[in-house]
Structure 1
């Protein structure tokens, strides 16, 4: 299994964070994340997961993390740029979606996501 994460930024440099329904209650905030489907590129996984969870459209950029995972065989993370869509969350998975400046992140953020958010893209 491969877990894939998108570090989605808007034109102002804010990052999209989701408060996940199924994540630990002490750490519900994190980046859009999901499992790659069989035969799907990791970039396509980012596009699909963001669209499914938020209704937003993104353009995937550079690979920013690739490593063996904790419970997954592999974890990959990509920078992504907002290009359109209308924010509408999937309430089965997501409780809330908000844009945050990288220097003002919410409490309860997944610690593994913090370095992805605070790194300088490019």
Structure 2
């Protein structure tokens, strides 16, 4: 899979928050995130937008259907001075708060809804997740527009814009 991605990676992660204010988190079965709480996440596939990818990844890993309502931020870094590793972090809401969690057992060992306090103080969350849970991210989120056409000359089949409406 790494060779298919080349040296510029685009991943997505979803901060899914239910009506009780709890965050949907997963424990991976592999990588540096194995056994610690992190966000449902994965890579954008050919032919999909980043926001479509996060909805797919949340569903695949947790069984929860969600919708994207905004963009929280971008995590970006370079691995071993060689690979550009980028992740768009979206704010999502579950479509139905009564959905049952269904774990993708190949990649995920556990899925839970946890409070911000549990994420920040529990000692089992990733550094990125702890940092995000420690701040009021949502008053600074970028909002989504899907009704914009940048011009037919560009031949977009899908075009979405995330921007700050002003705070």
Give your verdict on TM over 0.5.
yes
1:103 equivalent among 97, 117, 136 = 117
> Who is 1:82 aligned against?
94
Higher RCO (C-alpha under 8 Å, 6+ residues apart):
1
Q: TM-score, normalised by structure 1?
A: 0.88
RMSD over equivalenced CA pairs, Å: 1.9
1:114 equivalent among 121, 127, 130 = 130
**How far, CA to CA, are the matches of 1:12 and 1:68 in structure 2?**
30
Query: Would you tell me which structure has more strand in proportion to its own residues?
Result: 1
Larger Rg: 2
Report deviation, 1:58. 0.5
Q: TM-score, normalised by structure 2?
A: 0.66
Query: Would you tell me which structure has more helix in proportion to its own residues?
Result: 2
Instruction: Please list every run of 5 or more consecutive structure 1 residues that lacks an aligned counterpart in the other structure.
Output: none
Instruction: Please list every run of 5 or more consecutive structure 2 residues that lacks an aligned counterpart in the other structure.
Output: 1-8, 140-167
Do the aligned residues in 1 keep the contact of 2:27 with 2:33 (CA within 8 Å)? no
**How far, CA to CA, are the matches of 1:30 and 1:70 in structure 2?**
20
